[in-house]
Structure 1
Amino acid sequence: MALHQQLPFFNPSVPFSTPIQGGLMDGMIITLSGRVLPDAEEFSVNLHNGSNIALDLKARYECSLNIEHDTSQKWGSEQKRFETPFSRGQLFVLQILVTLGSYKVSINEKPFMDYKHRLPFKSVDSFHVDGKVALNLVAFQLAPHLVAPPGSFKVPYKSIIHGGLHAGKVIIVQGFIQSQPYRIVISLRHKHGIALDYSPRFDENVVVRNTYEDGQWGEEERSKPMPFKKGEPLLVVIFCGQHQYEVFVNGEKAHTYSHRFTNLEEIDVLDIRGDVQLTFVQP
């Protein structure tokens, strides 16, 4: 299976380990979403080249909170930062962007560090997570035109999908549903219409999918049961395949929707509206 066809991992058990299909590439982004356990003493995120470790990120909670990052090939000099954005019991999103010169690490959408390669990144072949952390998502995708979304995730939210969609593209929406919601709408748009309008409708207790083309709506696809819960966390991952979208809700595959608008590269806007508070969006 080629990298661009690789599905995300949902709710994997820890320790977690997976080969990286095709190895690392310039412009690849690894997204890790989870929660540090309340009794955590440490957890680690590693990129491996066989028995060598190309990047070791370790959060420790023993005496002082700190993050260490290093490479091992007869371990190099250790770099430490004596603060951690990973609070015990809290949700986080960690992303590693691979560039020709370094790994650019961001946490909760804020740049954290730029770590220059000590081992060739193209030789890295596996990814590992260990320690006191619960994972809900691990995703690999190419992001050659990656641009950080706006700093505020205020709803209504709109962001450009740079380069448009393609087979293997992953859209991530994370947040909290309001206690008395009416509707939420997640739309993938192009300049002439809406390729996918995905709408949990709490007033009808149904999820509706549809497409808007040539000035009119198509035939609705409606389904029950409702996988979204009032007042609870929300994690929606839309995986764009060659022939359809696959929508995962809180780690479970919930819906599929065949492409009606097939010029995927023209679908370049993510629009989110309704009764949701957003904490993280990857367009």
Structure 2
Amino acid sequence: MLPREKLDPLPDSFILQPPVFYPVIPYVTTIFGGLRAGKMVMLEGVVPTDARRFQVDFQCGCSLQPQPDIAIHFNPRFHTTKPHAICNTLQSGHWMAEARWPGLPLQRGTGFLILFLFGDEEVKVSVNGQHFLCYPYRLPLSRVDTLGVFGDIFVKAIGFLNINPFEEGEREYPVGYPFLLKCPRLEVPCSRALLRGLWPGQVIIVRGLLLPEPKDFTLSLRDESAHAPVTLRASFTDRTLAWISPWGRKTLILAPFLFYPHRFFEVLLLCQEGGLKLALNGQGLGAISLCQEALERLRELRISGSVQLFCVHY
């Protein structure tokens, strides 16, 4: 097992904002920590059958008067002869020149998953996993601290995430996976069958919310004999994150403890030749060594502890 060297970044940079489920529209919320390159905002919902238009605004403040600047205004329109989307920026009460994209991939009466991926110089927008547009920043991204959703839209979930640190640019966008609320299949303890084991390139994603008074959180990968060659455990009594060997030996992961009561988290395991890489809330935390034969023998993913799960994907 390979523990990671001690990390320097401030833990606050990696504390994720909890997802919002079924918000009442219009909906305005503060973006914890503001926006920066490497963040993502995911919007999951349905376009009503009689929708005319809706908008998603990334605002510089939330005042009513004066109206705040809007760094990124994303505005799909369905009521025209040719449905399209508009992006624009509002500064000091004045709109700049609008940018228009035809071929709107959103349709009335259908579900959608919109992903806003914030880069150094522009925001990229995908719809249902397909690239739709890029909009260069006209105001500094660092000024954005508020999200507003308005108009004809039914929203199931809004998620605030960090980019997968192990992405190597093979895909333009990370894959968005829906958030589920009170799903019976996500009740803890939660078990998932790994019918073919694990292979290089596979990713396990676990997203959830810590309970108000958590005790522990355990993610284990087990073989057909119910042995667990891989166990990741967070302990709240001593605030440690560790790999636990099949013989009970603990190897501490020397990194900021990013699990907090009543806070959202995302655990990511990337399978590669020679083992698994671990990331928590978008921060790489090193790897655990495991031969390919052992990875292929894994048959069960099990999650237990003081958590409410919103997404388990592999």
The structure richer in strand per residue is 1
Does the CA contact (< 8 Å) of 1:195 and 1:212 recur in 2?
Answer: no
Per the TM alignment, residue 104 of structure 1 is displaced from its structure 2 partner at its CA by 0.9
Q: Note the residue ranges of structure 2 that are not aligned, 5 or more in a row.
A: 1-10, 62-67, 181-190, 207-217, 229-257, 265-275, 280-284, 289-294, 301-311
Does the CA contact (< 8 Å) of 2:86 and 2:100 recur in 1?
Answer: yes
Q: Could you tell me which residue of structure 2 aligns to residue 19 of structure 1?
A: 30
Per the TM alignment, residue 148 of structure 1 is displaced from its structure 2 partner at its CA by 7.6
1:223-242 deviation per Cα after TM superposition (whole angstroms, max 9, x unaligned): xxxxxxxxxxxxxxxxxx72
Per the TM alignment, residue 88 of structure 1 is displaced from its structure 2 partner at its CA by 0.4
The normalised TM-score by structure 1 is 0.58
Q: Could you tell me which residue of structure 2 aligns to residue 124 of structure 1?
A: 144
Q: 2:157 aligns with which of 137, 154, 157?
A: 137
**Secondary structure, in 3 states, of the residue corresponding to 1:119?**
coil
1:137-192 deviation per Cα after TM superposition (whole angstroms, max 9, x unaligned): 111112163568879xxxxxxxxx9xxxxxxxx983579xxxxxxx974799799x
- Of residues 10-19 and 118-127 in structure 1, the stretch that sits farther from structure 2 once superposed is 10-19
Task: Flag the 1:5–1:216 CA change in 2: closer, same or farther, 3 A.
Answer: farther
Q: Is 2:69 the counterpart of 1:52?
A: yes
Per the TM alignment, residue 109 of structure 1 is displaced from its structure 2 partner at its CA by 0.8
* Identity value in percent: 24
1:54-98 deviation per Cα after TM superposition (whole angstroms, max 9, x unaligned): 011111122221111101112110111222111001011111111
Task: Work out the CA distance in 2 between the residues paired with 1:39 and 1:6.
Answer: 32
Task: Work out the CA distance in 2 between the residues paired with 1:32 and 1:110.
Answer: 14
Q: Is 2:90 the counterpart of 1:72?
A: yes
Q: Is 2:177 the counterpart of 1:172?
A: yes
Q: Is 2:107 the counterpart of 1:98?
A: no
Does the CA contact (< 8 Å) of 2:72 and 2:88 recur in 1?
Answer: yes
Q: 1:211 aligns with which of 220, 234, 237?
A: 220
State how many pairs are aligned. 208
Q: Note the residue ranges of structure 1 that are not aligned, 5 or more in a row.
A: 152-160, 162-169, 176-182, 198-208, 220-240, 248-260, 274-280
**Secondary structure, in 3 states, of the residue corresponding to 2:70?**
strand
Task: Flag the 1:89–1:272 CA change in 2: closer, same or farther, 3 A.
Answer: farther
Note the 1:210-249 alignment, pairs <5 A. 211-213=220-222, 216-217=225-226, 242=259
Greater radius of gyration (CA): 2
Does the CA contact (< 8 Å) of 2:129 and 2:176 recur in 1?
Answer: no
